[in-house]
Structure formats: structure tokens, C-alpha cells
Structure 1
Amino acid sequence: MASFFQNLWESIFTPGPTPTLLVATNVTFAALQVVLASMLLATYSIHFIILSGICAGLWMSINWFAGELIIHQIQEEEKARKAKAAQIPTSSDDSETEVEASKSTASLGKGKKPTPEAAAVSTVVEPAENQGELKLRVPAEEPGSSQGLKSGVSTEDEWEKVSENENEKEK
């Protein structure tokens, strides 16, 4: 029994449906159905019939989804096996370095096709050239603007202007 709980704990952290997790799920839903049936017999309430139907639907959907996941895992394993079997074994004469390969590719000239060995090795990514530099836009200096800030007018300056306009209207 202790090994079951240990396997259950480990199966939580294992991707996909594990047999231990499926057993625990099915036992839990069966126990819930027994509890709902006993509550139905004790109270004769329709609510427990509805809850039992919801529980059965959820139980079936979880088992269906776990089955679909298992089918998908089997298909992925078959694809991996086929891809591994279809790999062309590479020759042991791959002693050419990336620098030598890029030199040989560069020396081919126009109109010549590179050899497969040089094309396979020379997959070096070069950074793009800078098109231009970014310039920081500086607002025109105004007499009341705060200096050193990116925006020329701060919120406090705007409120001061509003206050000054209100004071002038009152006069």
C-alpha cells in the first residue's frame, strides 16, 4: 500500500497519464458514486441523481481524455522511431571546421553549387548591419519647462497654469 502512494506521488510529476494515476482517479470516482448513491437513498433528493450524472460524465470524459493521450504518445514514439531509423549515417570525415567551410563556400564564386558538406557546415548567422542610429528627440526649450526631463512640461506646471488662470478670472 505504501508503494502505491509513493508511485501515485511520483506519477503526479510525470507527464501523461500513468497507470497509478488512472487507478487512483477511477477509485476516487467510484467512491464518489457510492457516496452519492447512499445520499440518494438517505434523502430521496433529486439533487443526488443530478450530481451522480455529472460525476459519471466527468469520470467518462477523464478516462476518454487519458486514452487519447496514450494514443498520441504511442503515435509520437512511432514517429520518433521512424525518424531515427530514417536518419542517414554521417561519414566520419567531418573534420572540416566552420571557418574552413565558410572559406570554401565564399571561394566558390557565382554560378557554382556548394558541395553538401560545405553547405551543411556553413550555417553561421551573421548580424545585420545597422541602418542608422536612433536619435533622442529633445523638445524645444520653453521658458517654464523643467530641464533634464524627457517631457518638456510636467504635471505640476500644468496645474500651476490652471491655478494662475483661475486666479486671473477671479480678479
Structure 2
Amino acid sequence: MGSFVGDLWSSVFTPGPTPALLIATNATFAALQVLLFALLVATYSIHFVVLSFLCGALWWSINWFAKEVREVQRIEKEKQAGKETSEGDSKNTPAALDNTESDTETENLSRQKKTAGQAATQTTTTSASLQPPGEIEEIHKRSSMSGDSSGYGSTDSEWEKVDGNAARS
């Protein structure tokens, strides 16, 4: 029993569905189903039927998700094994060292920033080129609704106009 608790504690910090975690999850859901059945028998309330159905659906979905995660992990392991066997002879060459997947988080973040920067540059260039050629560098000012324009583009001048109209009323 002590070994199971230790395995359960360490499985919390291990990515993916571990056997100890799945056993604990299934035991907990089974106990909850028994409790809901006992409460149904004691009270004859339809609420416990609905709760039991929801519990069963959640129980099934968790087990389905764990099965899918294990399948993806198995496929990744097979890919890694196939990749390692194909790189067997060229592991010590400089080109093979550049292609390794032992990047640190910092290297991955810098690559993501570079690609995001390149995408932003391409977007900016594209949006600038979509405007007519004569209007790319010009700034257009929207004309005022009241007809008089002070040339000051702040919202403060608009509030002064509102205050002036309120004082005249």
C-alpha cells in the first residue's frame, strides 16, 4: 500500500497517464458510482440518476483520453526509434549535431520570436502594398462634423465643444 501511494504521488509529477494514476482515478469513480447508487436507493431522487450518468460519462471520457495519449506517446517513441536507427552512422558529423532536437527552452523561444517577427514583417509589407501608391505616405484627417476645425486632434477639443453647447442651452 505504501508503494502505491508513493507511485501515485510521483505520477502526479510525471507527464502522461501513469498506471498508478489511472488505477486511482478508476477506483475513485467506482466509489462515487456506488455512493450515488446508495443515495438513489435511500432517497429515490432523480438527481442521483442524472449525477450518476454525468459521472459515468466523465469516467469514460477520462479513460478514452488516457488511451489516446498513450497511443500518441507510442507513435512518438516509434518515430524516435526509427529516427535513431536511420541516424546511426552520421551521429558524430557536424551536420547531425545541428539537427538534434536537444534544444533548450530559450533556443525554442528565440526561434519562435524570429518566425513571428518574419511573419509580422511580411504582414506589414503586404498591408502597406495594398493601399493605392499615392496614399501610402500621406496622412488623412477626418473632417469635423460641426464644420469648424481647430486642427487639434485630441478628444479634449471635442469635450470643449460639448461644454460650449451645454453652456449655450
User: What TM-score results when the alignment is normalised by the length of structure 1?
Assistant: 0.56
* Change in CA separation of 1:74 and 1:92 when aligned onto 2, cut-off 3 Å: closer
Aligned-pair distance for 1:68? Answer: 1.8
* Change in CA separation of 1:144 and 1:78 when aligned onto 2, cut-off 3 Å: same
Q: 1:40 maps to which residue?
A: 40
Q: Does 1:53 align with 2:88?
A: no
Aligned-pair distance for 1:156? Answer: 2.1
Quote the RMSD (CA, aligned, Å).
Answer: 3.7
Q: Does 1:17 align with 2:17?
A: yes
Deviation track 1:97-150 (CA, whole Å, cap 9, x = no partner) reads: xxxxxxxxxxxxxxxxxxxxxxxxxxxxxxxxxx9xxx8x7x9xxx966xxxxx
Aligned-pair distance for 1:63? Answer: 1.3
Higher RCO, 1 vs 2 (CA within 8 Å, ≥6 residues apart): 2
SS at match of 2:90: coil
Aligned residues: 125
Q: Does 1:30 align with 2:27?
A: no
* 2:30 partner amino acid: A
- Supply the distance in 2 between the matched residues of 1:166 and 1:41 (Cα, whole angstroms): 72
* Structure with more of its chain in helix, by fraction: 2
Deviation track 1:65-101 (CA, whole Å, cap 9, x = no partner) reads: 211211221111011100110126238675xxxxxxx
Give the number of the structure whose alpha-carbon radius of gyration is greater.
Answer: 1
SS at match of 1:89: coil
Deviation track 1:16-66 (CA, whole Å, cap 9, x = no partner) reads: 101111011011001101101111121122332232222222212211221
- Supply the distance in 2 between the matched residues of 1:8 and 1:51 (Cα, whole angstroms): 27
Q: 2:6 maps to which residue?
A: 6
Q: What percent identity do the matched residue pairs reach?
A: 49
- Supply the distance in 1 between the matched residues of 2:93 and 2:82 (Cα, whole angstroms): 26
Gaps in structure 2 of 5+ consecutive residues: 95-124, 126-136, 142-148
SS at match of 1:48: helix
- Supply the distance in 2 between the matched residues of 1:55 and 1:87 (Cα, whole angstroms): 48
User: What TM-score results when the alignment is normalised by the length of structure 2?
Assistant: 0.57
SS at match of 1:41: helix
- Supply the distance in 2 between the matched residues of 1:74 and 1:7 (Cα, whole angstroms): 22
